[in-house]
Amino acid sequence: MSAHQADFVVVANRLPVDRVVNDDGSVDWRRSPGGLVTAIEPVMRANDGAWIGWSGGTDTDVEPFVEDEMTLVPVPVSAQEVEEFYEGFSNATLWPLYHDVVAKPAFHREWWESYVAVNRRFADRAAEVAAEEATVWVQDYQLQLVPAMLREQRPDLRIGFFLHIPFPPAELFQQLPWRRQLLEGLLGADLVGFQRPNNAQNFVRLVRQRVGHKTHRDLVYLPDGRMVQAAAFPISIDSAGLEELARTDAVEQRAKEIREQLGNPRHVLLGVDRLDYTKGIYNRLRAFGELIEEGEVSVEDAVFVQVATPSRERVEQYRILRDDIDRLVGRINGDLGRIGRPAIHYIHNSQPREEMAALFRAADVCVVTPLADGMNLVAKEYVVSRYDNDGALVLSEFAGAAGELRQAFLLNPYDMNGMKEVILAAMRAERSERTKRMRAMRKTVKENDVTRWATKYLDALSHVRPSHHKQVRP
Ligand code: ADQ
């Protein structure tokens, strides 16, 4: 692709497609569906958009190509960089640090150097691809240096950044040896978006204290006269699309079948997560085990289905977690299960969308208990799937989603007894109570879907930088 041509550029760690090599050696690209693609696709189509990202492999340079009317621009990442930039600095330093240090972050100078190098490559690519005065939207914690690197080369651009995970309080962020560089990296953007208002406040406070810039409310004033806004834009899902799927006969049939296969218990509880230590899977399963042990719940009439997608399996903390969960499930089922009645059904793989929708339809209680979570889309997916206004959502106060889903059965996942009480309350709630709560939550998620999220963000971005002539519109 020749330089300077896209008016709207998304820069994300991953491309919205996976590279698959066929048996005959030829290469295909398979769409990897996700919320971000759904939200951004209409904007891309309407604005001659390009998406810059890593293809997931460690191949050398691949030329830009067009897929589903989107220009995709692959950025090469070497095997060593996957280890240092991705598994290392992104997922073993930043990820735990930004999630309340629920695991210990590792600090390694080589990882940082690799993070800088890869961020620079993404920024260089964006600088080549963006048209004059284009809008560039950088996504997430893997690319926090890109805004400033890009601004330096292309001061004409309107640059946005959105962080999908929490932004930590100063007390924790402070630990990072490269804290100032990261803050300055983000300040290259005109608008720094977060999931929750407190994340934005943490950022502004740090900028004031650590970088010394003047701030007022959600604005940062830079010495060169530029202004940066930090504000919350809670992300959401394609509510209409998921509800439509959930309403199909095939999904309804499959939901019935799932309940039958589980032995038609009175209560089906469901957990759906990437297998990640921030998601609170261990505590949740332990709480369920204790409820059985204490006789509050019986395996004759209740079952827990835990579906966990394999994730970051080369990072040590994730291997440890997987072993811990394997052992816990084995112990609970061994101690408390009966023939044909395991306490927990544990599925360690990724499921197709239809199966996810059927699981949501089949579950009486969806249990979402992260110790820290930017938003948590599973909570919103469950709510949207329950078009019958039934079902109960148990939700951690520490998920960003708790800011909007106030009618959930809320809990503190560190408080084992509290968690057990809330799960029981959700299981035992009357239909009228469940309906009242579900109806209110459904209204929230249906009104605030992912398209609204993208629209609000892009509107705010064009307000922060009003001198610009070109408007990006969904
Ligand atoms: P994640 O940490 O990945 O996202 P989440 O928001 O829950 O967490 O999204 C996970 C997605 O994967 C959901 O759409 C879910 O349905 C799907 N999924 C999980 N397990 C699955 C399985 N076994 N099979 C199929 N699908 C499965 C990060 C942040 C979040 C933030 C999102 C979006 O950590 O806090 O909400 O980005 O900004």
- 396 strand-pairing partners: 411
> Do 157 and 472 meet the contact criterion of CB atoms below 8 Å apart?
no
Give the type of residue at 349. N
Class of domain 6-235+451-464: alpha beta
Question: How many CA atoms within 13 Å lie on the side-chain side of 398?
Answer: 19
275 lines ligand 1 (CB under 6 A): no
In this prediction the pTM is 0.96
- Closest ligand 1 atom to residue 276 Cα is 2
Judge if the beta carbon of residue 376 lies within 6 A of ligand 1.
yes
* 378 CA closest ligand 1 atom index: 7
Query: Look-up: residue for tokens 């039934």?
Result: 390
Predicted ipTM? Answer: 0.99
C-alpha separations of 33 from 3, 12, 318 in Å? 28, 14, 24
Residue ranges in the chain whose pLDDT is less than 70: 1-4, 33, 35, 59-60, 467-474
Ligand 1 centroid – CA 379 distance (Å): 10
List Cβ neighbours of 395 (8 Å cut-off, separation of 6 or more): 368, 369, 376, 379, 401, 402, 405, 408, 409, 410, 411
Q: Which two tokens stand for residue 323?
A: 């072993």
Q: How far apart are CA 5 and CA 95, in angstroms?
A: 34
**Whole-number pLDDT of residue 1:** 47
Query: What is residue 44's predicted lDDT score, i.e. its pLDDT?
Result: 85
CA distance 202 to 374: 14
CA–CA distance, 383 with 248 (Å, rounded to integer): 16
CB 176 within 8 A of CB 182: yes
**What is residue 367's predicted lDDT score, i.e. its pLDDT?**
98
Q: Please name the amino acid found at residue 23.
A: D
Q: Hey, what's the torsion of the CAs at 77, 78, 84, 90, to 10 degrees?
A: 20
385 lines ligand 1 (CB under 6 A): no
Show the tokens assigned to 21. 């090599």
Whether 303 contacts 269, CB under 8 Å: yes
- Tell the CATH topology of 239-447: Rossmann fold (3.40.50)
Instruction: Kindly give the interhelix angle for 416-428 and 281-293, rounded to the nearest 10 degrees.
Output: 70
Distance from the CA of 422 to the center of ligand 1, in angstroms? 23
Nearest atom (ligand 1) to Cα of 307: 23
408-417 pLDDT, tens digit each: 999 999 999 9
- Distance, in Å, from the CA atom of 179 to the CA atom of 209, rounded to the nearest integer, reads 12
- Going from the Cα of 35 to the center of ligand 1, the distance in angstroms, rounded, reads 9
Predicted pLDDT at 4: 52
- Residue 269 φ/ψ, nearest 5 degrees: -105, 145
Q: Which one of 37, 102, 369, 377 would you pick to mutate in the ligand 1 pocket, going by the greatest count of ligand atoms within 8 A of its CB?
A: 377
Q: Is residue 359 lining ligand 1, measured as CB closer than 6 Å?
A: no
- Residue 307, ligand 1, Cβ within 6 A: yes
Q: Inter-axis angle of helices 146-153 and 179-186, to 10 degrees?
A: 60
CA distance 305 to 356: 12
User: For a pocket test of ligand 1, which of 13, 375, 381 has the largest count of ligand atoms closer than 8 A to its C-beta?
Assistant: 375
* Matching fold, domains 6-235+451-464 and 239-447: yes
Predicted pLDDT at 3:
47
- Report how far ligand 1's centroid is from the alpha carbon of 418 (Å): 25
Q: Confirm or reject: Cβ of 165 under 6 Å from ligand 1.
A: yes
Listed by start position, the domains of the chain span 6-235+451-464, 239-447
Contact in structure between 220 and 183 (CB atoms under 8 Å)? no
Q: Which two tokens stand for residue 396?
A: 């951690």
